[in-house]
A = this chain, B = another copy of it.
Amino acid sequence: MSEVIMLAEKAREAAGRLAITSSGQRNRALLAMSHALTHHQESILEANTRDMDAARAKNVGASLLDRLELSPARLKSMSEALRALSLLPDPVGEVVEGYTMPNGIRLSKIRVPLGVVGMIYEARPNVTADAAGLCIKTGNAVVLRGGSLSVNSNITLANVLSNAATAAGMPEGCIQIIESTDREAAEELMGLHGLIDVLIPRGGAGLIRSVVENAKVPVIETGVGNCHIYIHSEADADMARKIVINAKVQRPGVCNAAESLLVDEDVYERVLPAILKELESAGVAIVADEATRSLGAVMRIEAATEEDWGTEYLDMKISVKVVKGLDEAIRHINTYGTKHSEAIVTNDYMAAQRFLNEIDAAAVYVNASTRFTDGGEFGLGAEIGISTQKLHARGPMGLTALTSTKYIAYGSGQIRE
């Protein structure tokens, strides 16, 4: 039996026992895990140093190095996140609905853990602690498979957290990490139908696509966001400018940042120049259609290609296009968007309603930045990712996204006529 199957079978056994732990027991385990991160700070940072050295030797870029690096301050914030999780209400056990059947059977639909959650993710080692915490909170076992750059950090973190959780009464095997970072190990994990209840990939578009293509277990697609801001002809120009700058510049490397700007042809000559200038002075590279380029508002605007309309830059870059009006804007977004977050700026009531109704995305905004699509902002308390699919969960996924339901029925001898 392969290492991956062995880990998954241990996780499945642990899941059976986890499902009958109490909320109080699980919260105590989260506190122990929180404590362990600071208690074992030295070994975790030592493992991280090995990862950082190896990454530098591979000439990994600065932004990736930054995501990879752990520090006492970052460990403290990971530790605090686990403590905060212990204080959130527990969705497991909630009676979602109930009904007494005409024959007297009392039926309840109750929230239960999913079972075994698989996580496949890239460089950031904090995902290891986040995912382990969210899974323990919701009574799920977890099988982690992180990227190769953070392999030492991930293994050390997972061992520290797993030991703390089991010492606090959680079943052996509840937090598993696949040490191999070979592609084969990930593919094996994706194929474990019957052992893995859901697989959540977190990372770039390539990783997500590979998981969706190859998995035989249920997958929740997350996080690819080719988000648009659409400035309608009835937009307040100043509001539009502030929203575009915020959505693009405030944190360009995240999935809810704007990647593309659409402007109605009635107003682009009046509205766009100030926005383009502010984008340029913020250091944003601009690619655009002919109409925008002919404005000559800023020094250099390259021509946008067909590929640009479908690209999530995750960087200080934006594509700009003039559209005929609402219909073209909606069509463009539903064609090139990734169903993540989309915004219209307008003071026209009917245009706002049509945009909300007709745009097919997890979150649709009128007169606000797309940057708000986030578990914390949406009041979910914690987030395991942002679903861009429609099945099971859509948009920011909080604790309930890690649960399923089960019907329980109290009878007194009823049989079906």
On A, residues with C-beta under 8 Å from B are 16, 19-20, 99, 101, 105, 107, 109, 114-115, 193, 197-198, 212-213, 216, 218-220, 236, 239, 242-243, 245-247, 250, 334, 352, 356-358, 360-369, 371-373, 377-379, 389-392, 394-395, 404-416
A369 shortest CB reach to chain B, Å: 5
Inter-chain contact A213/B213, CB cutoff 8 Å:
no
Report how far A49 CA is from B309 CA in the complex, Å: 52
Inter-chain contact A390/B99, CB cutoff 8 Å:
no
User: With contacts A219-B218, A250-B415 known, is A407 near B378, CB below 8 A?
Assistant: yes
Inter-chain contact A415/B243, CB cutoff 8 Å:
yes
Inter-chain contact A19/B413, CB cutoff 8 Å:
no
Inter-chain contact B216/A212, CB cutoff 8 Å:
yes
Residue numbers in B under 8 Å from A242 (CB-CB): 413, 415
Residue of B nearest to A215 (CB): B216
Report how far A392 CA is from B412 CA in the complex, Å: 31
Inter-chain contact A394/B390, CB cutoff 8 Å:
no
Inter-chain contact A394/B413, CB cutoff 8 Å:
no
Inter-chain contact B409/A101, CB cutoff 8 Å:
no
Report how far A391 CA is from B16 CA in the complex, Å: 17
Inter-chain contact B114/A391, CB cutoff 8 Å:
yes
User: With contacts A390-B115, A390-B197 known, is A356 near B408, CB below 8 A?
Assistant: yes
Inter-chain contact B407/A362, CB cutoff 8 Å:
yes
Inter-chain contact B414/A372, CB cutoff 8 Å:
yes
Residue numbers in B under 8 Å from A358 (CB-CB): 16, 19-20
Inter-chain contact B390/A357, CB cutoff 8 Å:
no
Inter-chain contact A406/B363, CB cutoff 8 Å:
yes
Report how far A379 CA is from B392 CA in the complex, Å: 22
Contacting A357 at CB < 8 Å: which of B19, B107, B198?
B19
User: With contacts A19-B357, A366-B409 known, is A415 near B216, CB below 8 A?
Assistant: no
Inter-chain contact B378/A390, CB cutoff 8 Å:
no
Residue of B nearest to A334 (CB): B16
Residue of B nearest to A395 (CB): B407
Inter-chain contact B368/A409, CB cutoff 8 Å:
yes
Inter-chain contact A19/B360, CB cutoff 8 Å:
yes
Inter-chain contact A101/B413, CB cutoff 8 Å:
no
Inter-chain contact A368/B19, CB cutoff 8 Å:
no
Residue numbers in B under 8 Å from A361 (CB-CB): 406
Report how far A213 CA is from B190 CA in the complex, Å: 11
Across chains A and B, which 8 residue pairs bring their CB atoms closest together, nearest first?
A368-B411, A246-B415, A390-B404, A371-B416, A392-B392, A363-B407, A367-B411, A239-B413
